[in-house]
Structure 1
Amino acid sequence: MALFVITRQLLRLVLLHAAWEVGSGQVRYSVPEESKHGTFVGRLAQDLGLEVAELVSRLFRMVSEGRRDYFEVNLQTGVLFVNSRIDREELCGQSPLCAIDLEVIVDKPLRVFHVEVEIKDINDNAPAFSVHEKNLFILESRLLDSRFPLEGASDADIGTNSLLTYKLSPNEYFSLDLQKNNEQKKSLVLLLKEPLDREETPVHHLLLTATDGGKPELTGTVQLVITVLDANDNAPVFNQSVYEVRLLESAANGTLVIKLNATDLDEGINKDISYSFSNLLNPTLRKIFSIDPKTGEVRLKGELDFENISLYEIQIEASDKSAFPLAGHCIVMVQIIDVNDNAPVLAVTSLSLPVPEDAPPGTVVALLSVSDRDSGDNGKVTCSISPNVPFKLVSTFKNYHSLVLAEAVDRERVSEYNIVVTARDEGAPSLSATSSILVPIADVNDNAPAFLQPLYTVFVKENNPPGAHLFTVSASDPDLKENAFVSYSVLESSVRDKPLSSYISVHSESGHIYALQPFDYEELQVLQFQVSARDAGFPSLCGNVTLQLFILDENDNAPAVSPPPSGRGSPVTELVPLSAGAGHVVGKIRAVDADSGYNAWLCFEVQEPRTAGPFRVGLYSGEISTTRALEEADGPSQTLVIVVKDHGEPAMSATATVSVSLVESPRAVKWDSRQTGRSEGSLVDMNVSLIIAICSVSSLFVLVIIVYVGLRCHPGPEVMYGSGKPTVVCSSEVGTWPYCQRQSRNLCVGEGAAKNDLMVFSPNFANSSESGIIERQQEFTLNAPVEVSDESNFSEKFNTSFMGVSFL
């Protein structure tokens, strides 16, 4: 029962200790050296707070810097066990603390844990002497309590396992004395208790036994063979038994370590002294130090390394030159002073690359370890990274650092960073080491496709073939791979109650825009739509651009002559009194053209000028008038065939037949009575109305001139976009005549000799109500006639002097 209580208390103490270890941020275990493969060390996953089932999926791994794989983790149970034989003496030598640092790394998310496994010493090394038999020569004249140094045994273990006790086989002449040298080394001395008598006992055989403090105890022995000599009674004596010297590890060869001096009270040859290293001296020290046998000067002849050995114990003896020489002994303790001769060592133990450009600050990029073999300030290392990079170093554990993201990165601005990590110690002068880490930035879809301009204006002639290429849009995306792969599409909308997709299409990869059907200017003048560019990222991003497609008119409609009121197909009959003089207006031909601009500008001419007699037709007004006074010889009637032509390329035409009858009574003359149904009074009223309209148009014309001059002095955008129908857009593709996208009427005035012609452009009105408006507009008569001199070169003059007024 008592045993159960004690066991429970011990278990509670162990659990409390383990909980304290985990809470401190580091897990510590201990295991005896020489443990067999598979020996249980600890439940690592449980102590680190990890789920055993997640070890494989989270890429659990363990790193041991500069060590063999002494330990392994069972990923199925999370247990840490011994993987290979551990020899503490081979691993740590005589160091009082021997531990193996393990670094446990798990990904998703990345975490680092530090585990320390202390290697416990066991008593697996017995004390050992350097020789099995030691010969000593001692004069019989030596005084009692004379001391003879012995080489002690060595034990590779530490602690109580290396605490040695010595025992000499029973005898009446000698005993052992163990002395401490400045609390650093213990010297084993053979002490003479009784005077020696060579004649009685010339040789003494003693057994020296060394026993360690382990359980169970281990022992080692050496046989002491003591030969008793006769003669020389005084041995050389040093003024100190122990000398202490401090020497820089950077000392050059030949540097004087110490000059020794021993004295001998004898005379003659027994007083001459020779200095030498003791036979007990380690052969390694003979390669580093030398001694002058005459002067006793100890000099350096090899290289020192504080990191390997920081303290040297040199055993020196001074012997006289008698036939039976006597010797005095001393110890020189050489303390090596560390200099900063080792640069820091940087090692990258783990990398998590590339870094996504949307990674949050604090993301761990790499794990680094740094070490320096020097001690004190020479071994203190500080780490830094190159400036002006969005990264920083964070110290994690002892000499471990984490390279973490300090601020947001943008791959489109900087695609990779070459980070130089510098480790510098605090020695004087300081030493440093550098390591470069190339950190690429991974792309994410954070940039939408962009067009060079927000709006494109495209001109296309009507009657284009189906499938004709109209325009190519192109958008750029600074991302990479699928995030930069752009596909194009048209944003669906409705045009004249038809879907936009029935008019145009866009190639998804090239951005080519094609016409799916021929365009008709008379039906559609402007087609405005949007094209979308979308990348293939996830989630995808898109950008839009607006296209304005202006349809250019072609001369695909022939002029249409308005029929007389009497019915379609009837020739026009005009009555002219015989008393009519030159310039008398007989009638007027009315015609319209569904085209626009230059293609709708009509001219009138007699088909057979030789048969026209005393009549002519206004080139642009269509008015039939007399060229001279009428005569009876002209006949009772004449038939005129009037050709109406437009100015398109090629020109299109229509014909109208006019029958002119000559009458004697002026009362019978009516102004186009069958066509207009107006009386003379109505005609006067109409002329007054026309005069008022012409004055209004002239005023509007002057106003337009003023506005035009003002706009020329104040530059502005040529094309304005907004809702509804677009404004007038002029293109050079239709020649020197203005091309108007909206329905308009252009009143044009030319220069030249007297011709009473009023030129009116016919717009592309299709329905009868619009045709009526055109007819009324073509019936203007100018009281102050517009003069056109040479009709043949009127087009050339019109190109240089044309001024227009647009009625929208």
Structure 2
Amino acid sequence: MWTLVKIKIFPWLALWMFFLLWNTIEAQTRYTIPEELDVGSVVGNIAKDLGFDIAKISDRKLRIAPGAGKQYFAVDLGKGELIVNERIDRESLCGQSASCLLPLQVIIEDPLQFYRVEVEILDINDNSPLFMSGENTIKVPESTLSGVRFRLETAQDRDVGINYLRSYSLNKNDFFALNVKNNKDGTKVAELVLEKTVDREQQPVHNLILTAVDGGTPARSGTTHVTVMVIDINDNAPSFDQDLYEIQLSENAIPGALVLTVRANDLDEGPNSKIEYSFESHTAESIQKLFVINEDTGAITLTDALDYEKSPSYKFDVCARDKGTPSMEAHSSVQVTIVDVNDNSPEITITSSPKPVREDAPVGTMVALISAKDLDSGENGQVSLRMSSDYPFKLNPSFADHYALVTHSTLDREKYPEYRIELEASDSGSPALTSIKIITVNILDVNDNPPVFSQPSYTVYVRENNAAGSIMCSVSASDPDKGENAKISYSILDSKVQDVSVSSYIYINSDNGSIYSMHSFDYEKLKVFQIQVQAKDHGSPSLNSNVKVHVFILDQNDNAPAVIYPSTVMGSVSHQKMPRSAKAGHLATKISAVDADSGHNAWISYRLVEATDSSLFSVNLYTGEVRTKRAVSEQDDSSQRLLIEIQDNGEPVQSATVTVNILLEDGLHEPISDFRQKTVEPSKRNSKITFYLIISLASVSVLSLLTFLILVVKCVRNSRSSSSCCIRRADSDGYKNPNRNLQLQLNTDGPIKYVEVLGGDMLSQSQSFRSCLSPVSEFSDFTLVKPSSTTDFQDMINVLDASLPDSAWTFESQQVSAATL
């Protein structure tokens, strides 16, 4: 409820008590208030009327959209009330318009919504009728007959409606009366009517007071002093041919253009009929700067540029005065209506600036509120707003040239993190005028991309006996998201290696993906294992991906050869007997040793280091057989001491020694005979083994060729997954051991498939060799793995044939290490 009290001037204005009125018309809320309310006065509870929770309007930032000019209203976020922010002068806002509406854009965010509110400003009687001049002079010839009328100055009242100028009154006198004439435009003109002939000799001057009164409650009034001077000449006043001249003038009329010509006639003759034209004395200065009237012809011309947007029409009074003595004059009005020209480009206003939009925002999400206006009128002021269809946004028209910018399709920040949207507004004028405005919409990241590893799988080669805590390799993954969504942590998924948690073997740096060994590896215990690394981003919810890492342990020459025969468990020296009747080539004994290493590191050679008589015995480099180089003579010592060194082929070389004491005795016929008989069989077997070995080597060559062809086919088939294989060849291809049986064994246990080559001599346990195959290497390494029982060549072929189908050969993706196995 509003109460307006004007105690000092009009105490009874306290009767003005306005109850807040609001209603919704076409989804619009309207309030009605009087003008001139004090700052801070409450217009209404806008939060309640629009259906908002008062407790939430502060967080949702309820506000009035800024507009051009003054901000007359504001919102009290504590109470939800619409309050007056600046004094409202209805006359300044709407002039003489009968209706005065202030449109407001009410915006509330999160989510973004907008409402149209209209505030109707009611006129109060705060302006008194006003005369432009405080004193007016009228010259009346004494010969003037009664009934002649004299135009008086028109009072101006800025109020409208009931508060506008209602009547004139004249102070009581004996000679003059007041006549009020109503024009077609609703204005009232006061005329002074001569009721009784005046006599200059009796009273040359008459002083009158003209009062203008409005219709307000209480009424306001204004006065002007009218001085009537009685003269004794010129008894006919000029007369205009029209009381009101109306003309339309284009807004783009150039200065100097003729507006119209007013005409007046005077029935007198001579100087009394000569007429001079001029503007009324109370004509506003702005009119006189814009128009000029020719005092002789009455032609009114334009002196300055017009602007329809400043004023769509002009009204002023002209005067025709004769040159008689005393002069007489006539008055007429001129109404100039300005015709609008399309001279203003549309104006694009961002009512609510665009906020960043999440890339997973649903279609139809409001991004910004935009208005497009044109100061022109009619079709020249009709504006359409559009944008290119290349954007995932569209414009939804709302009301009164307002548009909502909403999402039209799905967004992807990884492709387009920002949009610069070009808006184009054009009016309907001819020719049409356009304007362009660019707004920027930023897209907020959503965690919609899992990390991606740089490789589909990783292969790592680690030498045994490596230092604990040394880095093995690094994995890396990337995430196209942003911020925390792109920050990656690495971890190893729990699994078992030889029934032990993989975390006991491996540690990974969660920040950079570097993988470290937890302790030193022993090839003889663990040759290959597999781990799974997970890359997980920091988004919410987080996304992850896994990759396999194959770890191969590379053998090092860390085991010296171990002597199997002759056994020296009971002492450091082995004692053997041999008859003195032995001939050249007699097998005195055989040294057998094994090496726990593999490949080159397990290849063993025998060498006689010291001997009592170096001319009597020799040791076979590869078999370790100790034979006589010549027949034993009677001069040879009965005790022959041999120091034999066993070396492997590793780098650095590992070796062991064995001391053999051979006693030369007479009379050892049967044992020696038996021994020779027994040695004949091994000789025969050795020749047979040599034959088998040749067949084995040929078969292995054919098998290697077949395997290589199979690998080529496999690699071509698996090229999309970048799988690779490797084949290594021994550094000493020419090495031949005639006393070894070979067998091939296909190992299909675990994720890594490999072939084991088993070999051994006639007197020792056989050895196992493994070959890792890779198409990117020309070399094949045979690595000693473990002791195994001897199998004849036919069994080996059977095992290999059973393993040759494609389904049995699976070659994991590897990267060949530069280190030599």
Q: Would you say same fold, with TM above 0.5? A: yes
- 1:595-628 CA-to-partner distances (Å, cap 9, x unmatched) read 0111111112222479343554332233445656
Match of 2:702 in 1: 703
1:306–1:187 CA distance, 2 compared to 1 (3 A):
farther
| CA-based RMSD | 4.3
1:712–1:476 CA distance, 2 compared to 1 (3 A):
closer
Give the one of 763, 784, 789 matched to 1:773: 789
Report if aligned partners of 1:613, 1:634 keep a CA contact under 8 Å in 2: no
Paired AA for residue 314 in structure 1: F
SS in 2 for 1:285: helix
Match of 2:29 in 1: 27
In 1, Cα distance between equivalents of 2:429 and 2:372: 16
SS in 2 for 1:562: strand
- 1:771-795 CA-to-partner distances (Å, cap 9, x unmatched) read 4626999xx9xxxxxxxxxxxxxxx
- 1:747-794 CA-to-partner distances (Å, cap 9, x unmatched) read 79xxxxxxx9x9997659xxxx964626999xx9xxxxxxxxxxxxxx
In 2, Cα distance between equivalents of 1:418 and 1:528: 50
- 1:25-66 CA-to-partner distances (Å, cap 9, x unmatched) read 221111122334554433322211122233334333334534
Match of 2:756 in 1: 744
Match of 2:43 in 1: 41
Match of 2:183 in 1: 180
Match of 1:803 in 2: none
Report if aligned partners of 1:579, 1:664 keep a CA contact under 8 Å in 2: no
Report if aligned partners of 2:134, 2:223 keep a CA contact under 8 Å in 1: yes
Paired AA for residue 301 in structure 1: T
TM-score (norm 2): 0.78
1:657–1:392 CA distance, 2 compared to 1 (3 A):
same
1:604–1:687 CA distance, 2 compared to 1 (3 A):
closer
In 2, Cα distance between equivalents of 1:271 and 1:87: 48
Match of 1:596 in 2: 598
Q: Which runs of 5+ in 1 are unaligned?
A: 1-13, 749-755, 781-808
SS in 1 for 2:398: strand
Q: Which runs of 5+ in 2 are unaligned?
A: 1-18, 735-746, 771-784, 797-821
- 1:277-331 CA-to-partner distances (Å, cap 9, x unmatched) read 2224223211111122233321111232222222222322333333333334333
In 2, Cα distance between equivalents of 1:94 and 1:773: 119
SS in 2 for 1:164: strand
Give the one of 250, 255, 280 matched to 2:257: 255
Match of 1:59 in 2: 61
1:324–1:567 CA distance, 2 compared to 1 (3 A):
closer
- 1:484-533 CA-to-partner distances (Å, cap 9, x unmatched) read 33332222222112222222212222332222211111111113212223
Which aligned pairs between 1:303-702 and structure 2 lie closer than 5 A? 303-351=305-353, 353-385=355-387, 388-564=390-566, 571=574, 573=576, 588-608=590-610, 611-613=613-615, 615-625=617-627, 640-657=642-659, 659=662, 668-669=671-672, 690=689, 693-694=692-693, 697=696, 700-702=699-701
User: What's the CA shift for 1:353?
Assistant: 3.0
In 2, Cα distance between equivalents of 1:142 and 1:432: 64
Report if aligned partners of 1:600, 1:646 keep a CA contact under 8 Å in 2: yes
Report if aligned partners of 1:621, 1:759 keep a CA contact under 8 Å in 2: no
Report if aligned partners of 1:643, 1:653 keep a CA contact under 8 Å in 2: yes
1:158 aligns with 2:160: yes
1:663–1:730 CA distance, 2 compared to 1 (3 A):
farther
1:713–1:507 CA distance, 2 compared to 1 (3 A):
closer
In 1, Cα distance between equivalents of 2:641 and 2:659: 7
1:694–1:233 CA distance, 2 compared to 1 (3 A):
same
Report if aligned partners of 1:383, 1:421 keep a CA contact under 8 Å in 2: yes
In 2, Cα distance between equivalents of 1:277 and 1:719: 101
User: What's the CA shift for 1:635?
Assistant: 7.6
Q: Which moved more, 1:403-412 or 1:60-69?
A: 60-69
Identity of aligned residues (%): 40
Report if aligned partners of 1:64, 1:101 keep a CA contact under 8 Å in 2: no
1:668–1:718 CA distance, 2 compared to 1 (3 A):
farther
Paired AA for residue 437 in structure 1: I
Give the one of 187, 197, 220 matched to 1:218: 220
Paired AA for residue 413 in structure 1: K
Which aligned pairs between 1:119-138 and structure 2 lie closer than 5 A? 119-138=121-140
Q: Which moved more, 1:67-76 or 1:127-136?
A: 67-76
In 2, Cα distance between equivalents of 1:95 and 1:159: 9
In 2, Cα distance between equivalents of 1:462 and 1:233: 137
Report if aligned partners of 1:133, 1:225 keep a CA contact under 8 Å in 2: yes
Paired AA for residue 706 in structure 2: V
- 1:129-171 CA-to-partner distances (Å, cap 9, x unmatched) read 2223321123345566654333321211111221522334555
TM-score (norm 1): 0.80
1:88–1:160 CA distance, 2 compared to 1 (3 A):
same
1:415–1:59 CA distance, 2 compared to 1 (3 A):
same
1:395–1:73 CA distance, 2 compared to 1 (3 A):
same
The total of aligned residue pairs comes to 739
Q: Which structure has greater strand proportion?
A: 2
SS in 2 for 1:240: coil
User: What's the CA shift for 1:704?
Assistant: 1.0
In 2, Cα distance between equivalents of 1:309 and 1:58: 40
